[in-house]
Amino acid sequence: MRLTTKGRFAVTAMIDLGMRHQRGPVTLAGISDRQRISLSYLEQLFGRLRRQGIVDSVRGPGGGYTLARPMTEITVADIIRAVDEPIDATQCGGLGNCHDDRECMTHDLWMSLNARIYDYLDSVHLAELVQQQLDKPEQCAGKKHEHRRVVGSADLKVAANG
């Protein structure tokens, strides 16, 4: 399990896709423009998402990407797993080349920690995140925008200009 900007970009892009997939295929150029993510990078990410069966692609003019499954059946963990290929296990790489009993602690430890985090990320569905975005009143609709503190713990300090 790895959690970097790569996985986050993928989740962001998938939400963008989820918000407008009803109106036909969504182009990566559009996502790139809206979310300010490099088009080349998106292509790479969606290449993996497609091979993992999370999205479908339509080539040619009028094409783009569309969801391969309903949003309720796509979890955040699915997305991250697809683009951020999982670390196998530990330094043993699944071969168990540790010769003593103590080294295996690392192995089990990472595996269980991974499992716990995955277990959580598997409980968050794309539908929730999309709905969460749609529920927001036009927070920054053209004018000065004001961020609500949807999250309790982070010290969200935003300097809204205006």
Partner DNA sequence: TAATAGTTGACCAAAATAATCAGGATTAGT
Partner DNA sequence: ACTAATCCTGATTATTTTGGTCAACTATTA
- In the region spanning residues 63 to 122, those forming contacts with DNA, defined by CB under 7 A, are 63-65, 84
- The tokens for 52 are 């993992």
Q: Whose Cβ is closer to DNA: residue 21's or residue 125's?
A: 21
Residue nearest to ligand FES (CB): 107
Q: Whose Cβ is closer to ligand FES: residue 153's or residue 161's?
A: 161
Rg (CA), the chain: 19
> Closest separation between CB of residue 127 and a second copy, Å?
14
Residue bearing tokens 């296990």: 89
Residue 66, C-beta contacts closer than 8 angstroms, at least 6 positions apart: 17, 21, 24, 25, 26, 55, 56, 57, 58
Candidate residues 19, 58, 68, 92; the one interacting with DNA per rule CB under 7 A: 58
Residue type, 135: D
Q: For residue 1, what is the DSSP state? A: -
Do the Cβ atoms of 1 and 86 come closer than 8 Å?
Answer: yes
* C-alpha–C-alpha distance, residues 14 and 22, integer Å: 13
Q: Whose Cβ is closer to ligand FES: residue 39's or residue 156's?
A: 156
Interacting span for DNA (CB under 7 A) from 54-62, 111-119, 137-145, 150-158: 54-62
Residues at the contact surface with DNA, assessed by CB under 7 A: 2, 4-6, 9, 27-29, 37-41, 43-44, 46-47, 50-51, 57-65, 84
